[in-house]
Amino acid sequence: MAPLDPHSFTDSHHPLTTDISLSLYLDFPSATIHGVAFFILKSPHVGQLSFDTRSLSIHQVLSPITLSLLPFSLSSSPDPIKGTQLSISLPGDDVLSSFFIVFSTSPSSSALQWLSPPQTFNKKHPFVYTQCQCIHARSIFPCQDTPAARIRYSASLNVPRELSAVMSARHVDRRSPVSGEGHSHLLPGGFNSLWCSETRVVEEFQMNQPIPPYLFAFAVGELGFREVGPRTRVYSEAVNSVLDAAAKEFAGTEEMIRQGEKLFGDYDWERFDLLVLPPSFPYGGMENPRMVFLTPTVIKGDASGAQVVAHELAHSWTGNLITNMNNEHFWLNEGFTTYAERRIVEAVQGEDRAILNTGIGWKGLNEEMERFKDNLEFTKLKNNQEGVDPDAVYSEVPYEKGFQFLWRIERQIGRPAFDEFIKKYIATFKFKSIDTHTFLKFLKANVPGIEKEIDLVLWTEGTGIPPDAYEPVSNLYTKIVSLANEFKLGRMPREDEVADWRGQEWELYLENLPKVIEASQVLALDERYRLSESKDYEVKVAFLQLAIMSQCRNFYGEVEKTLKEVGRMKYLRPLYRALVQGKGKEEDKILAKRVFSEARECYHPIARGVVESIFAKHL
């Protein structure tokens, strides 16, 4: 076997899947999906073919010609990172380039979160959504779960009639189910007969552009929407207050799309819709093509949450059009997208906003160097992830060091030349998956002599932050950092100095304070500015982290409340880590374990795993 990806069983000698057709019956009472998948390979194949699965039951593999059973086997014990290898034997007497797999998911699927009505906004209906990045599509359907395998897909989702579905694909139809349609007659366990129940409805979708499996996404619930632009609807559960707040926050989306097109070329995905998920969603946003998923914590009331939308929009060119070959080259997705996001923010919201964004990222990058000081491999852009869970080493390094690398190239050759370079890069590699070597080869071919001006090997393969990285400079940025430094001398900012501050300014200020201060200083800061009550979670969590590290227990009730009301890992990581890291602190550790035991069922499985890995390291 010649692995294509350290996180996949896919063999580089085997043909990759090009198209998948899915018939999925969503069974909410059992929190399972029963499905049939029809796979088309790039070329016919004889012999063993390896697929990735995790927590799936594989019922049958069938020939598309005769529906005869094809031999298959599952590895005897799951790999803790990659899951279970599905090996299919394709016959030599009838050379096949397609086949059916009949399967069921498990309630423990790492990609799916099934929410009961009390866990949703409307408290009336259940809800389910997916999160497949980095390697979780394999827990929904068997696949070659690597970004190297770009697929087109169609899907028929059979769901309760009172619910509706959205996907990272074009919506084709919503209609009553038809007996035997598609591949539904092959469903296991009697679900083929349940398919046509009067209480069910079929939602059909089509994705005609090839995407990596981690961008497969759907959500099902009682959904509503608001129109916010010619290419954009904002969806959420059908709760007017959420929909109205989201529509207001993201009213400027069309202008961001237009600015993105000026910078990077045509928007190739037709729609750019947004779905605000329940609070358990583990990320700020997920760049699913045509249907971006968002946490409700980005609705801040001042349009600053649109910066997350700018990041997910930027992925429409860098990440979705051009994708990293595997997670060892993740910076090609996130470094480029962070650069593109800041260019869009600069065009729409102004240079000061973009520089604040960059400054917060700069501080975060330096903190990641401290986090990985005992494992410097993960301070590299191109790193070795053999035997490593990508969720466990997820960090700001590919985002911020990747951004710094591209910013360094821009400073070297000038913005106009760099803009032309990026447009050519996107046009050359669109709908392809590439690695760092391919990018560097393209860079040197199109910017002759760049390797003499910039140490490309140091930037991509070296540890730490290169000496020619650059801290941003602006009057506002400098003022905020200066005020944070003055706090160390005992001076809090005056009210007139912070009168115009929004969440980003406060976030940057808090991030630049000492990690530990006197408990009395924490209390004084909150008494004056009520940071623990901030509606902006970036501000609230930065303040609560400071309170924990400073052992100011007055705010531990707010820490517990925050950990129980949101599931975004950006907030869970620092708060749980602050509670459990370091010697002693037994009361803090007891609190962390109790809160997690009470809140864990409200977290997405990916978030649960991240918290458990923090506990494994520090408890």
Helix axes 351-371, 475-487, angle to 10 degrees: 50
Classified as helix, coil or strand, 497 is: helix
Residue 339 annotated among the catalytic residues of the structure: no
Whether 271 contacts 323, CB under 8 Å? no
Could you tell me which of 317, 336, 331, 169 has the C-alpha nearest to residue 256? 317
List 235, 283, 339, 399, catalytic entry? 399
Q: What count of other Cβ atoms lies within 10 Å of the Cβ of residue 325? A: 20
H runs (alpha helix) in 23-159? none
Could you tell me which of 371, 367, 401, 366 has the C-alpha nearest to residue 383? 401
Classified as helix, coil or strand, 92 is: coil
H runs (alpha helix) in 447-502? 450-453, 456-461, 475-487
CA atoms of 127 and 163, how far apart (whole Å): 9
Amino acid symbol at 10:
T
Residues in CB range of 594: below 8 A, 6 or more apart: none
Classified as helix, coil or strand, 261 is: helix
Q: What count of other Cβ atoms lies within 10 Å of the Cβ of residue 169? A: 26
Q: Is the dihedral of CA 300, 302, 303, 307 positive or negative?
A: negative
Total count of residues recorded for the chain: 619
Phi, psi of 77 (to 5 degrees): -135, 135
Could you tell me which of 236, 238, 164 has the C-alpha nearest to residue 203? 164
Residue 556 annotated among the catalytic residues of the structure: no
List 312, 334, 410, 511, catalytic entry? 312
Phi, psi of 104 (to 5 degrees): -140, 145
Could you tell me which of 505, 211, 228 has the C-alpha nearest to residue 355? 505
CA atoms of 158 and 176, how far apart (whole Å): 9
Listed in order, strand segments (DSSP E) in 335-494 are 432-434
The residues assigned a catalytic role are: 312, 399
